[in-house]
Structure 1
Amino acid sequence: MDKRTFPRLGRTVGTIGLGAWQLGADWGTVSEDEADATLRAAVEAGTTFLDTADVYGDGRSERIIGRFLRESAGDDLFVATKMGRRVAQHPSAYVLDNFRAWTDRSRANLGVDRLDLVQLHCPPTEVLRTDAVYDALDTLVAEQRIAAYGVSVETVDEALAAIARPGVASVQIILNALRLKPLERVLPAAAAAGVGIIARVPLASGLLSGRYDENTRFAADDHRTFNRDGSAFDVGETFSGVDFHTGLAAVRRLAPLVPPQATMAQFALRWVLDQPGVTVAIPGARNPAQAKANAAAAELTPLDDATQRAVREVYDDLIRPQVHHRW
């Protein structure tokens, strides 16, 4: 698998990582054995970057990864976690004492002395503009609780606010063929500043896998059932904020662009990797086959200019009016 470097970290990772939300909760039931097999398949396929959070299954995802790390001591794995969503989303919660407690819990869950990367988990916008927050994060680095910090954001403006801070090593943002807005300012600004870009929701919660239609039903404990309108957590996370039926129409227009011997999901991941400034994409996987197929997208030939233009045309026609102004 091709590798890219986080400039402010000096760490190199495989371009296709593994988003581990589904190993914790909210994507239907995944057993611990299935989770372990999925992690192993991803790593065997070249994945070195694992993304989790303290809120995924209230620590279950972190604990599963921690056990895997202990069993995979020879693998050069990079684990990014996130903090701040286990409490009410109020700026007053984002203080050093809480940061210490939150990272101590994640260190225990993962079984490590120092966390590779901690990201503020889509905090209130005010948090990303507060000097004291970054001072506290710098303190965590000085205390060697964490090696580096970044942010996971919802909006372009939040990303730009974080990129302007000299200590921010990475920005995690939704980027996929149905969410193009970060291409305009975020990716160029990150590249200029040496900030890594972690592309989350690269398959639009599975919409871009091409496996769904109007008759698809998801499990009751799958966020694609209960969070389509953002009623459970942030609007825009499930299906990238795109109306399900509009997304299906877009996927049908994109399908003829898929190269021979590639899947729709692999095409969508290749599109993400082709965007200048992207460090790593983090698709989720619920089983080994999905993990291996996702990793294989890194081996596809980069998409040509005509295909890139065609993706943008679909976005402009169907998706832009619905979501471009929102995030």
Structure 2
Amino acid sequence: MEQRILGKTGRSVSVVGLGTWQLGADWGSVEPEQAQAVLAASAEAGVRFFDTADVYGDGRSEQAIGTFLAQNPGLDITVATKMGRRAEQVPENYSLANFRQWVDRSRKNLGTDTLDLVQLHCPPTPVYSSAEVYDALDTLVAEGAIRNYGVSVERTDEALEAIRHSGTASVQIILNAFRLKPLDEVLPAAKAAGVGIIARVPLASGLLTGKYTRDTDFPEDDHRNYNRTGSAFDVGETFSGVDFELGLKAVAEFEQLVPAGASMAQAAIAWAAARDGVTTVIPGARNVKQAQANAAAASVALGEEFDDGVRWIYDHYFRDAIHPRW
């Protein structure tokens, strides 16, 4: 699989990575054995980047990855975790003392002395412009607790603020065929600054797989059920913030663009990976078949007509609602 350098980390990662939110919580239950099988299938298919967070299943996702790496010590896999969402979301909680506690917990979960990449997990907007926060993160690097740090954001203005700070190695942002705003300023700014871009939610919470209908029933513990109005966290994390029924109409248009031999999901992942400035795309997978299919998206080639079609769909269905908000 194609490898790219992840911004200022200097680390080589696969163009298709693995998001592991689903291995911890909020997508229905995933048994530990199933989680290990997904990690193994991804690694076997060439995936060399796992993204997790301390809040996913209250550490279960990190622990699953830690177990896998301990059992496969020869694999050169970069692990990015996130911190901050286990505490009340107020700027004053983003302090060096809390960072040390959160990082120590993640190091234990992942079974490592030094974390490859730690990302602030969509904190309150003022945190991105706090010099004290970046000083604290620099301290953790100097102490050897983390190698690099980055941010995960909800909005493009948050990404642009983080890119301004010299220590920011990477920015994780929602980017998919239904969420194009990062293409305007964030990707060019990141590229100019040498900051890596991790594209998350590439399948719009599964909408872009084409598997859902108006009658699809999501489990009670699945955020696609309980967070459609943003009652638990930013609604942009669920179906990329688009109305579900409107999204289904757009999916029917998207399906017409998909080239022969590729699935809708593979085309969506390949499109995101082909955007100039994107380092890696991190779809999730709940089973081995999904993990293998997602990794295979790295070899899907798309023409200009596909990109033109994606932009038409966005302009026709989503721009007015999505572009001003995120």
Q: TM-score range by the shorter chain?
A: over 0.9
Q: CA deviation at 1:323?
A: 1.1
Counterparts of 2:71 and 2:107 in 1: how far apart (Å)? 17
Runs of at least 5 residues in structure 1 that lack an aligned partner in the other structure: none
Q: CA deviation at 1:322?
A: 1.8
Q: 1:240 corresponds to which residue?
A: 240
Counterparts of 1:67 and 1:30 in 2: how far apart (Å)? 15
Counterparts of 2:125 and 2:265 in 1: how far apart (Å)? 32
What are the superposed Cα offsets for residues 73-117 of structure 1, whole Å, 9 maximum, x if unpaired? 010110000000001100000000000000000000000000000
Q: CA deviation at 1:7?
A: 3.2
Aligned residues: 326
In the alignment, structure 1 residue 87 sits paired with structure 2 residue 83:
no
Amino acid at match of 2:263: T
Counterparts of 2:216 and 2:12 in 1: how far apart (Å)? 38
**Alpha carbons 2:223, 2:238 under 8 Å: kept:** yes
In the alignment, structure 1 residue 325 sits paired with structure 2 residue 324:
yes
Runs of at least 5 residues in structure 2 that lack an aligned partner in the other structure: none
Counterparts of 1:201 and 1:7 in 2: how far apart (Å)? 20
Q: 2:130 corresponds to which residue?
A: 130
Q: 1:146 corresponds to which residue?
A: 146
RMSD: 0.6
Percent identity over the alignment is 63
Counterparts of 2:230 and 2:86 in 1: how far apart (Å)? 17
Q: 2:313 corresponds to which residue?
A: 314
Tell me the SS of whatever aligns to 1:318.
Answer: helix
**Alpha carbons 2:7, 2:197 under 8 Å: kept:** no
Amino acid at match of 2:306: T
Tell me the SS of whatever aligns to 1:218.
Answer: coil
Q: 2:23 corresponds to which residue?
A: 23
What are the superposed Cα offsets for residues 260-310 of structure 1, whole Å, 9 maximum, x if unpaired? 110000000011011100000000000010000000000111x21122111
Q: CA deviation at 1:235?
A: 2.0
Amino acid at match of 1:227: N
Counterparts of 2:214 and 2:62 in 1: how far apart (Å)? 34
Counterparts of 2:70 and 2:6 in 1: how far apart (Å)? 25
Q: CA deviation at 1:321?
A: 1.6
TM-score by length of 1: 0.99
In the alignment, structure 1 residue 96 sits paired with structure 2 residue 96:
yes
Counterparts of 1:257 and 1:14 in 2: how far apart (Å)? 25
TM-score by length of 2: 0.99
> Once superposed, which parts of structure 1, at least 4 consecutive aligned residues long, lie more than 6 Å away?
none
Counterparts of 1:209 and 1:267 in 2: how far apart (Å)? 9
Counterparts of 1:295 and 1:27 in 2: how far apart (Å)? 20
In the alignment, structure 1 residue 213 sits paired with structure 2 residue 204:
no
